[in-house]
Amino acid sequence: MSEAINPEYGNIRSVDLHQSQIKLDVFVDQSIIEIFVNEGQFTLSARFALNEITSIVFEGKVHGKYYAMRAIHYEGREI
């Protein structure tokens, strides 16, 4: 289960797109989601407190690839 960090900003992010082809780059970790639409034409982000990632939902016809991200280790510390 997750909990919004700033609930006054809401939990839904959206943009109006009038294109048939849309490219999304989505990055998620344990406290933030960043979505870049069409190489940065639009960007959406949100912070949250998360116990575990259970799902991300996209509406409409979507095709994509999933890449797992790993932590970066710097001088013996995980960042």
pLDDT in tens, the chain (79 residues): 455 566 677 767 778 888 878 888 888 877 788 889 888 999 988 887 766 666 777 777 777 777 777 777 777 665 5
Global pTM value: 0.63
Contacts for 10-18 with beta carbons within 8 Å, 24 or more apart? 11/46, 13/44, 13/45, 13/46, 14/44, 15/42, 15/44, 17/42
Domain count, the chain: 1
* Residue-level pLDDT at 54: 67
* AA identity, residue 38: N
Structure tokens at 47: 């912070």
* AA identity, residue 53: I
Residue 21 belongs to domain spanning: 2-78
